[in-house]
Amino acid sequence: MNILRLIANNCADLVRNREVLIELARRDFKSRYLGSFLGVLWAFVNPAVYIAILWFVFQLGFKAMPTDNVPFILWLIPGIIAWFFISDGIAGATHSILDYSFLVKKVVFRVSVLPIVKIISALYVHLFFLVFLFIVFLVYGFGISIYSLQVLYYLFASLMLVLGISWITSSVAIFFRDAGQIVQMALQFGFWLTPVFWSVKSVPQKYLFLLKLNPLYYIISGYRNSFIYKIWFWETPLLTLYYWVVTAVVLVTGLRLFRKMRPHFADML
């Protein structure tokens, strides 16, 4: 019951602080590119250029063979876009308390929403690329089906996992300033452990269960299931249950750790 009350209280806080939250996220998004010539356009240009390079290298250069009867670049883009959001959200949120230390030290403020500010900031870019993803599939002639709308479910699922991880990393980063660098290294390592660039069909069947223990497998595969394989999330019940159990544990652990360390934030800053 204490866990449920804790989650309910935080949900209520989010609702009460929604306007402040959105405004902080908007300012954070703009401040990252303050002073540059293109401004916030860089948030969209950098990933777009990266995707264009991948298209040129794999589609035109290496003449990559289709994967599951889908052009390789179409198979690749959903996973890349999902990964961009997850990595940007976690990396940004890890430093959220440090970046907004003035709110922690001088104002009575619900500090637990600060990681969410960074996640929403990353979400702005992700929503743009989701629209881009729909357009790319239409241009290639694959069309859009009702399965594609399920990407919103996987987006919500990734938000919950990223939020739980962010509460953990952002609270640890106050006491251990090298945490940000370790998170970056873990994300780089996790990128290659997650089937973003490679297909699970290349993994021997007896080792596949180890791959599925990575909760990010569920998200990356889910984006592709929505656009390519036309599989509903309830058609993989065990994997779905496993993901939400892991996510719930991460959320509760992150929230409890954050609340336990919160009284010491101002002293450490």
- DSSP structure string for 162-186: HHHHHHHHHHHHHH-TTHHHHHHHH
pLDDT of residue 150: 94
Note the pLDDT tens digit of each residue in 75-113: 888 999 999 999 999 998 898 888 777 777 666 667 778
The more confident residue out of 233 and 63 is 233
pLDDT of residue 240: 95
pLDDT of residue 5: 64
The more confident residue out of 72 and 242 is 242
Percentages helix, strand, coil for the chain, rounded to the nearest 5? 80, 0, 15
pLDDT of residue 156: 94
Q: Which two tokens stand for residue 175?
A: 């006491």
pLDDT band at 136 (very low <50, low <70, confident <90, very high): confident
Phi/psi at 118 (nearest 5 deg)?
-65, -35
DSSP summary character for residue 70: B
Q: Above 60 in pLDDT, residue 122? A: yes
User: What CA dihedral angle connects 21, 26, 32 and 37, to 10 degrees?
Assistant: -170
Cα–Cα distance measured from residue 173 to residue 99, given in angstroms and rounded to the nearest whole number: 11
Mean pLDDT on 194-201? 83
pLDDT of residue 61: 62
Note the pLDDT tens digit of each residue in 32-86: 665 555 556 666 777 777 777 877 777 666 666 666 778 888 888 899 999 999 9
Least confident of 25-39, 102-116, 143-157: 25-39
DSSP summary character for residue 144: -
pLDDT of residue 243: 96
Residues 6+ apart with CB under 8 A from 120: 21, 22, 25
Percentage of the chain beyond pLDDT 90 is 26
Cα–Cα distance measured from residue 179 to residue 170, given in angstroms and rounded to the nearest whole number: 8
CB 162 within 8 A of CB 119: yes
pLDDT of residue 246: 95
CB 99 within 8 A of CB 175: no
Element (H, E) at 91: helix 72-94
pLDDT of residue 158: 95
Across all residues in the chain, what is the average pLDDT?
82
Pick from 87, 86, 65, 84: which is nearest to 201 by CA? 65
39: left (phi over 0), alpha (psi -120 to 50) or beta: left
Let me know if 229 is exposed, middle or buried by CB neighbors in 10 A (0-12, 13-18, 19+): middle
Q: How many CB atoms lie within 10 A of CB 219?
A: 22
Mean pLDDT on 162-172? 92
pLDDT of residue 85: 93
Q: How many CB atoms lie within 10 A of CB 76?
A: 22
CB 226 within 8 A of CB 154: yes
**What's the pTM?**
0.87
Pick from 43, 246, 253, 254: which is nearest to 157 by CA? 246
pLDDT of residue 59: 66
Mean pLDDT on 202-222? 87
**Radius of gyration, CA atoms only, the chain:** 19
